[in-house]
Amino acid sequence: MKLIIRLYVNEHVNLNCKVIAAEKTQHGWQVSIKKKNWSNGHYFHPEQQIEEEEFTREYSHLIVCSGLHNVPYIPKVDLENFNGTLIHSNDYRDAERFKNQDVVVVGSGESASDIALQISKTAKSCTIAQRSAPGTLFPRFIQGSTADTRDDRLTYNLPRIWRSFILRGHRRYYQIQKENKAVFHWAARSNFENNRCAFNTNACKSFGIPESIVHYKAKLKPEIAYTAKDDVFFKDGSQVKSDAIIFCTGYKLKFSFFSDQLSDQLIPINNLWKNCIHPDLDSLFLVGFSRPQQINLVTIAEMQARMVALVISQKKTLPSKETLLNEINKDQSWMRKFYGNRYEKNPALVDFLYYMDSMAEFIGCQVPLKKAFIKDFALWRKLVFSSLNGAQYRLVGPGSNWHESAQVIKGIPTFLNRKNALLRWSVLSVLTMISSFLGLFNKDYRSVKKQAGMDSLGRA
């Protein structure tokens, strides 16, 4: 690692530098930078003391990769009279600090889930306060496999109109689990009663909340109304004693190095094409500002980076402003139709397969299912039945390598429980065939891949 950094990274990357300001100019971007030993001697940074300096440089293009987690967000609630500890999950380190205390954990996402489980094991009491139910509850492991082995193209390519069927099937699957039965039943009930499935909301890939409730007697409450000294009052009129409140309530997006005017152009992030490009700012690119409802951000960020590299190197040309705006409206309509209120609360939310396949349409790296079926059936089987990943978009198109990508794809494991996997794939295959027929008459039954490509970038 150190050798790679010495030979390549140090030559092309300025370490220990922080962007103080970035301004649009007539010819590009003027960036103000402060150099300092920000890393405090982190192992891959220079070990010698860095001489502090501030300087300005000009760039033709600017790529922002600072991510969505900028400023810790704490909801507006009356905390003025609370005598206990108040922290955001950003500052949480371990549960030992809260041993034998009464603790309220606020939130319903993965941070709240993980922290609530840790707290419930050591604290005197743990209360989980939620404004709304968690996203689709997934365990990290199920029947000997990681949960993402079930994140396959066959499932996510189904028309979203089947979401109620998927919701019922998901509940039934959880109800027949024999290990950790009570926790799976709690998750099944929460998902079903709150209408949570992969086709209408983001995932919460942690069973921390149900485990803390079922096994460690954590209590579930609605959101906080107000506090008073050692008491926390909830919107249902109930109250608990509390020594500490931990807010696992996410982050606000902020660009500290941009002017307020420019920041207002970029937020909310779904006003950008593919959450990346503002139609009026074709030299500014945002990479990594998406929150997939399932799968992972890394694969999306890689696809965004490929798009940016192609545009900057002039191997691809961005469509007209009018086309970009039409694409933005199309993507927003898709998300509002199927993800509704969750999308309004989280504008960075994207439907993974819809997003990836529409990006592949622009880049020219669409997953070649027909070619794989004819040329390498074992590869085709993995493309359809194994978890989605970036290598699938490296088989063809710019920067592709069929052989190496195929080897990676074939090496990805499928679900270990063969009986369950075959039943699941059979049901999904039947739904796919039914959809193919109904899609001739109703576009809502067309596959996600086809709907993502319809009218994409002016192409039929």
Between the alpha carbon of residue 255 and those of residues 76, 159, 302, the distances in Å are: 22, 36, 22
| Whole-number pLDDT of residue 266 | 96
Q: Please work out, in degrees rounded to the nearest 5, the angle formed at the alpha carbon of residue 381 by the alpha carbons of 375 and 383.
A: 90
Contacts (Cβ under 8 Å, ≥6 apart) of 48:
none
φ, ψ at 35 (rounded to 5°): -100, 130
Pair of tokens at residue 332? 């927003």
CA-based torsion, 93, 94, 100, 103: positive or negative: positive
| Whole-number pLDDT of residue 47 | 59
| Whole-number pLDDT of residue 455 | 46
Domain ranges of the chain: 71-251
- Domain 71-251, CATH: 3.50.50.60
Pair of tokens at residue 447? 């596959």
Amino acid identity at 41: G
Q: Are the beta carbons of 137 and 196 closer than 8 angstroms?
A: yes
Count of beta carbons in the 10 Å neighbourhood of residue 152: 23
List % helix, strand, coil for the chain (3-state, nearest 5): 45, 20, 35
**pLDDT tens for each residue of 162-209:** 999 999 999 999 999 988 999 999 999 999 999 999 899 999 999 999
Find residue 222's DSSP bridge partners: 130
| Whole-number pLDDT of residue 394 | 97
How does DSSP classify residue 8? I
Contacts (Cβ under 8 Å, ≥6 apart) of 396:
364, 365, 366, 368, 371, 402
3-class secondary-structure state, position 166? helix
Among the residue ranges 7-11, 212-216, 275-279, 390-394, the one predicted with the least confidence is 7-11
| Whole-number pLDDT of residue 2 | 62
CA 115 to chain centre: 19
3-class secondary-structure state, position 334? helix
Find residue 273's DSSP bridge partners: 277
Q: What percent of the chain has pLDDT over 90?
A: 75
**pLDDT tens for each residue of 113-170:** 999 999 999 999 999 999 999 999 999 888 888 888 888 999 999 999 999 999 999 9
In 129-244, alpha helices (H): 153-156, 163-175, 181-193, 208-216
Q: Are the beta carbons of 156 and 353 closer than 8 angstroms?
A: yes
Q: Which residue has the higher pLDDT, 421 or 60?
A: 60
Q: Name the strand (E) or helix (H) holding 95.
A: none
Whether residue 458 has pLDDT greater than 70: no
CA nearest 62: which of 347, 287, 265, 398? 287
Q: Residue 43: pLDDT band by 50, 70, 90 thresholds? A: very low
Count of beta carbons in the 10 Å neighbourhood of residue 12: 6
- Please list, residue by residue across 109-118, b when 16 or more beta carbons sit within 10 angstroms of its beta carbon and e when fewer do: bbbbbbbbbb
Q: Please work out, in degrees rounded to the nearest 5, the angle formed at the alpha carbon of residue 395 by the alpha carbons of 392 and 400.
A: 120
In 217-315, alpha helices (H): 260-266, 297-312
- How far apart are alpha carbons 254 and 378 in whole angstroms? 46
The 224-228 sheet, strands edge to edge:
224-228, 231-234, 239-241
Q: Residue 12: pLDDT band by 50, 70, 90 thresholds? A: confident
Q: Residue 1: pLDDT band by 50, 70, 90 thresholds? A: low
**pLDDT tens for each residue of 349-397:** 999 999 999 999 999 999 999 999 999 999 999 999 999 999 999 999 9
- How far apart are alpha carbons 442 and 437 in whole angstroms? 9
Longest CA–CA separation in the chain, Å:
70
Q: Are the beta carbons of 438 and 342 closer than 8 angstroms?
A: no
How does DSSP classify residue 349? E
Contacts (Cβ under 8 Å, ≥6 apart) of 127:
102, 103, 104, 105, 218, 219, 220, 221, 232, 240, 242
How does DSSP classify residue 162? G
